[in-house]
Every structure is written in structure tokens, then in C-alpha cells.
Structure 1
Amino acid sequence: MTSIFLHKDEKPSEAQLQKAVGHTYPVWKTFADYTLKKYPEATAEWHYSSEKFGWSFRIKDKKRVLIYLLPRDQFFKVAFVFGTKATDEILTGPIAESVKTELSAAKPYAEGRGIRIVITDESLTDDILKLIDIKLKY
């Protein structure tokens, strides 16, 4: 499933984002604001990858993306790439089993294991905030 924003020449506005992700917008804001509060040097930006994938929002430090927020129709996905140490901490820590299963199943690449978590409500908020903390730690 691709972004709801596909037009390269039209970077999404906050109002368009709010309408697109609907009732999940406050959760999106929670994740973005939390990441920027914990890592104030980070930069937040919209990124257009291709016609197939459209626009995504990412928060990154100088070298790596900390968190990806992927807008969909009335929900969004949050995505991370975790290295070995972070993966080990997640798999042994107090994180939702659904997240651990997704991470265990993710194919390991040189940069780590990538996961995408569907956010349709606030039920995984605490787990995602823990994942942000772990990502910042490593």
C-alpha cells in the first residue's frame, strides 16, 4: 500500500495530512513531537521517494533516519530500521508481541531490520514511544 500523497509537485500540508490520516492524526503528532523533543537536533522533513511510494515524513539525525511516518487513508504506518543491539533489546524487552513478531520476521540487511507498524488507533502508543527511545539509544 502506498502513500495517500502521490503527486511529486505537491508536498503535503499539515491540513492535508490531518484530513488524510483522520482520527489518527493526534497519534502521528505524538510520535513526531516525542522524537523531536527527545532529539532536538533532528530534522523533520517530507520526502518524495517515487511515483510508486509517494510522500513520507521522516525525522532524521545527520546520518540516519530515526523514524518514518507513512500517511495512508484514515491511518498511517510508522517504520523503523533497527541494528543488532536495538533488535536484541526489543526482542527481550516489554514490547507488544505483535511488534516482536514483525521484527523477528524482518529480513536482516547491512543497515539492520526494517519494520512497518500499522497505526489505526492509540493502542500501540506506549510501545512506539519505547521503540523511539531504543532507536535513539543505538
Structure 2
Amino acid sequence: MIDFKKDRNLEPVDENLNRILGNSFSAYKKLLEKLPDFEADLEWRFYKDGGWLAKVTRKKKTLFWGEPRDGHFTAAFHFNERNHSGVLELDIADDLRKMFSNTPASARNMTTLKIDIYSENDLPDVYQLIGFKKNAK
């Protein structure tokens, strides 16, 4: 099994990502294809405490963090207190909205919404969040 958390030399190239993401690899590739529509770029970085993480940015603004997991790709969006109500008004799945409203804010008043991407059916919610985050202050 590939473990992107421990091995800095095991880079997140397509061959390795395909092995860990499995059936969700095509959804991950679709997400990459769509990022230019948001003027966003994905950059892989290795962190000693977290392993390989994908940082998706638009200019200097971080839109979300991504992590390859066994069988899926997780996208984590961090929102400040000012944007909390705007996220709840988005046209996203009810379970995501409920999860977000029940997630306590961190010490820095940030609330995180994580989406596990298993298939292309999960991408419309991700696109909604990217668009909102791109324009949020």
C-alpha cells in the first residue's frame, strides 16, 4: 500500500495517485481539468507532520488543501467566521451543509469543511465551494 504520509521520495505522480485513489482517480483528474476555470493551480508539498498535501491556490489565496487517501481524495476548505453563513447558503448537499454547521470553529475562528471525493458525482459541491472561496474576503 502506498503511504503518502511517510515517504517523501514517493511522489504524488499520476501512477502513484492512480494506485491509491483507485476508482476515484478519474474524479481527481476531472477536478484538475476544471481548476483553470477558477484561475487556480495545484501544487504538491511534503510536510513532515502531514506527508504529501495538495495546496490549491488562486494567486496568493489558498482555496483548499487536498489529500490522497485510500480510495478517495479529500478536499479541505477553511472558512473564516465572516464567510460561515455564505457557505450555508450555497447549493451543496444537505449533509455537507449540516456537517459544516455542526463543526466547531478552531482557535483561530476558522471552520473546516472536508469533502471526500469518490466519484465525479461529488465534484459539483466542490466546484460550488471553490467558486465561493475564490470570491470570499
Fold equivalence (TM over 0.5) = yes
State, as a whole percentage, how many aligned pairs show the same letter.
23
Report the alpha carbon displacement of residue 124 of structure 1 after superposing the two structures with TM: 2.2
Unaligned runs of 5+ in 1: none
Secondary structure of the corresponding residue to residue 93 of structure 1: coil
1:11-64, Cα deviation, whole Å (9 max, x unpaired): 22121112211111121122233223211xx4421111225x321112123433
- Normalising to structure 2: TM-score of the pair? 0.82
Which runs of 5 or more residues in structure 2 are unaligned? none
2:12 matched to which residue of 1?
12
Change (3 A) 1:111 1:66: farther
Comparing 61-70 with 13-22, greater Cα deviation is found at 61-70
Of residues 98, 101, 106, the one that matches 1:104 is 101
Q: Secondary structure at the match of 2:121?
A: coil
Q: What does residue 135 of structure 1 align with?
A: 133
User: Which 4+ stretches in 1 moved above 6 angstroms?
Assistant: none
Letter matched to residue 7 of structure 1: D
RMSD: 2.1
The answer for the alignment partner of 2:62 in structure 1 is 65
- Normalised by the length of structure 1, the TM-score is 0.81
Specify the alignment match of 2:121 in structure 1. Answer: 123
**SS across alignment from 1:114:** strand
- For residues 117 and 44 of structure 1, the distance between their equivalents in structure 2, rounded to whole angstroms, comes to 17
TM-fit CA distance, 1:85: 4.1
**Aligned AA for 1:137?**
N
| Number of equivalenced pairs | 133
On the 8 A contact 1:57/1:69 being kept in 2, the answer is yes
1:76 to partner: Cα distance: 1.6
